[in-house]
Amino acid sequence: MTTKSARCKFCNVPLYVEFDEECLTFIRNESWWLSLAACNQCADHRTIALNFAEKAGRIGGRYTLLWNSGVRDGEKIEKIKTSFERLSKRFVGIIAQHYRQTNYWDPGWLDLLLEKPHRAKTIFLAHENQMRREAEKFRAERLAQTE
C-alpha cells in the first residue's frame, strides 16, 4: 500500500489516501483520483443529501402526475403535501446539523415545492448549497476575527 496526501473535496480537511501497488500501475492520472477524495463525514452527508433530493424528485413527480390528470383536491394530494413537508423538515435538520447552523424551516419553502414540484430535486440541492455557502462565509468571518 502506498499512502498519498490529499484534501477533502468538500471541507478541505487534509486526508491520506491509500493506493494498492497494483492499482498504481493502472492509474494514469493520480492527481485526478486524489481530487475526488472526501472525508467520511462529508461523503456520508453527500450521500444522505442526494438520497433526500431523489425522494423529493419522486414525490414531485407523483404530485405533477396527479395535478396534470385533473386531481386538485383529495386525500392523495394531502398525503403528498404532508410527505413534502416531513421530508423537507428532516432534510433541513440534517443539513443544519452537518454545517453546524441553526435549524430553520420556512413554510414558504413548502409553497415553492408545491408550486414547482417537477423541480423538487433541484430545489433541495440548491437549498443545501445555500446553507453550505452560508457556513463557509460564517467560518471565514470567524477566522478573520481571530487574526
Q: How confident is the model at residue 10 (pLDDT cuts 50, 70, 90)?
A: confident
> What value does the mean pLDDT of the chain take?
84
pLDDT at 115: 87
Say how far apart CA 1 and CA 24 lie, in whole Å.
10
Q: Which residues contact 56 (CB under 8 A, 6 or more apart)?
A: 84, 87, 88, 91, 113, 120, 121, 123, 124
For residue 13, pLDDT over 80 is answered with yes
pTM of the model: 0.75
Poorest-confidence range of 17-26, 55-64, 72-81, 82-91?
Answer: 17-26
Question: How confident is the model over 111-132, as a mean pLDDT?
Answer: 87
Residue 24 confidence (pLDDT) above 80: no
Do 120 and 57 meet the contact criterion of CB atoms below 8 Å apart? yes
CA dist., res. 32 & res. 27, Å (int): 10
Please tell me the number of Cα atoms within 13 Å of 39 on its side-chain side.
10
**Distance, CA of 85 to CA of 87 (rounded, Å):** 6
Domain boundaries, the chain: 2-35, 40-146
Task: Please give the average per-residue pLDDT across 63-77, as a whole number.
Answer: 80
Provide the greatest CA pair distance for the chain. Answer: 62
